[in-house]
C-alpha cells in the first residue's frame, strides 16, 4: 500500500467492457492541502465557482469544496483531452446531486465524494451510470452505521474485512455510491440498498445487491479510508487499473 503524500493526484482513464462495446470513463483521487488548492484554484475553477468559493468562510468547507472540484476537473480533463476545465462548472441538481455544465458535452455526467482530506470523482456517459464514495474509517461513525444495517449484513461483516469498523465503513460507502447512481440519496430506507454476494478479487471487495441486481460495487481500503465505485453488474473493469488509486 502506498502512502498518500501531502499533495497527490491520481487520474485514470477507464474502459468498461460490455457486450455492446467499450464505455469510456475517467476517475480521479486527490489529496491536496488547502493552501495548495487555494493557490491553484484559478487554474481549475469556473468563474462562478470562484465567486461561490469566495463566499465560503470556514477552512474545512473551503477545503472540501476545492478537493471535490479539483478531482472532478482532473477526471474531466482525462475524459476529454482537449477540454478547458475552467469553462466547465459543477453545479447542483434539485436533489443536490452534482451536475456538469459545459457547452457541447452532451450527456456527460459525474459523481463526487470527499472527506476532510481526500476526494474522488468519476466522469461517465449518461448511458453507463456510475457512482463513487469515500469515507474515513472512524470508530464512532462505524458504530452508528452498525445500528442501521440489516441483520443479514451484520452476519456478512467478517466477509467484507477482518476489522469490523473497516467493514462497516466500506458498507456505508457502497450504499452511498449506489444512492448516487439511483439519485435517491440516503433518504430512501437504508435496507433497500442491502448487499448480497461478497467476493475478494485483486485486493478489491466486489459486492452485489439484493434489490438492485443490475449493479455491482468495487471497494478498496487505502490510507485509513474506504473507497467504493458502483457500476452496472455486467460491465467488466480491469481492476489492475484501479490499483493506482490504492493511495
pLDDT digits over 93-117, tens only?
888 889 999 887 778 999 999 998 8
Mean pLDDT, range 34-53, rounded to an integer: 96
Q: What value does the mean pLDDT of the chain take? A: 91
What digits encode the pLDDT tens for the residues 111-144? 999 998 899 999 999 999 999 999 999 888 888 8
Per-residue b or e along 180-209, where b marks 16 or more CB atoms closer than 10 Å to that residue's CB: bbbeeeeeeebebbbbeebeeeeebbbbbb
pLDDT on residue 187: 75
Please tell me whether the overall predicted TM-score, pTM, comes out greater than 0.85 for this model. yes
Contact of 227 with 134, CB cutoff 8 Å: yes
**Residue of 184, 246, 169 lying closest to 215 (CA atoms):** 184
Q: For residue 22, what pLDDT band results from cuts at 50, 70 and 90?
A: very high
Cα(23)–Cα(108) distance, integer angstroms? 12
Assess contact for 42 and 69: CB atoms under 8 A: no
C-alpha cell at 234: 455486467
Q: By the 8 A CB rule, do 218 and 237 touch?
A: yes
Ramachandran bin of 223, using left for φ above 0, alpha for ψ from -120 to 50, beta for the remaining angles: left
Q: What is the mean pLDDT of residues 27-48?
A: 95
Checking if the pLDDT of 36 tops 90, the result is: yes
Question: At what angle are helices 139-146 and 164-182 packed, to 10 degrees?
Answer: 70
Rg, the chain, Cα only: 17
Q: Please tell me whether residue 206 adopts helix, strand or coil conformation.
A: strand
Report the C-alpha gap between 145 and 171 in whole angstroms. Answer: 9
C-alpha cell at 191: 435496507
Q: Are 169 and 153 in contact (CB under 8 A)?
A: no
Q: Mind listing the pLDDT tens digit for each residue in 3-16? A: 334 568 899 999 99
Where residue 121 falls (left for φ over 0; alpha for ψ -120 to 50; beta otherwise) is: beta
Using the structure block, give the residue that is written with the C-alpha cell 470562484. 50
Nearest CA among 78, 97, 99, 74 for reference residue 86: 74
The total number of residues written for the chain in this structure: 247
Closest CA to 215 of 236, 230, 200, 227: 230
Q: CA angle, corner 73, sides to 77 and 66, nearest 5? A: 155
pLDDT at 1: 31
Amino acid at each position: 500500500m502506498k502512502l498518500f503524500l501531502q499533495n497527490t493526484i491520481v487520474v485514470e482513464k477507464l474502459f468498461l467492457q460490455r457486450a455492446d462495446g467499450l464505455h469510456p470513463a475517467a476517475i480521479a483521487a486527490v489529496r491536496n492541502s488547502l493552501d495548495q488548492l487555494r493557490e491553484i484554484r484559478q487554474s481549475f475553477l469556473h468563474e462562478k465557482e470562484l465567486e461561490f468559493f469566495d463566499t465560503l468562510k470556514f477552512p474545512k468547507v473551503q477545503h472540501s469544496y476545492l478537493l471535490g472540484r479539483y478531482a472532478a476537473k482532473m477526471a474531466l480533463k482525462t475524459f476529454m483531452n482537449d477540454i478547458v476545465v475552467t469553462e466547465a462548472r459543477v453545479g447542483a441538481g434539485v436533489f443536490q446531486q452534482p451536475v456538469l455544465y459545459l457547452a457541447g458535452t452532451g450527456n456527460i455526467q459525474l459523481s463526487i465524494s470527499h472527506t476532510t482530506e481526500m476526494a474522488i470523482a468519476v466522469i461517465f456517459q449518461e448511458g453507463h451510470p456510475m457512482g463513487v464514495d469515500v469515507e474515513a474509517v472512524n470508530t464512532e461513525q462505524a458504530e452508528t452505521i452498525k445500528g442501521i444495517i440489516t441483520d443479514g449484513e451484520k452476519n456478512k461483516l467478517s466477509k467484507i474485512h477482518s476489522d469490523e469498523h473497516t467493514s462497516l465503513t466500506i458498507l456505508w460507502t457502497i450504499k452511498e455510491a449506489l444512492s448516487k447512481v439511483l439519485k435517491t440519496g440516503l433518504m430512501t430506507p437504508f435496507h433497500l440498498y442491502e448487499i448480497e454476494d461478497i467476493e475478494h478479487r485483486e485486493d478489491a471487495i466486489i459486492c452485489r445487491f439484493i434489490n438492485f441486481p443490475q449493479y455491482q460495487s468495487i471497494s478498496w481500503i487505502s490510507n485509513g479510508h474506504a473507497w467504493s465505485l458502483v457500476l452496472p453488474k455486467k460491465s467488466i473493469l480491469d481492476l489492475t487499473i484501479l490499483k493506482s488509486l490504492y493511495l
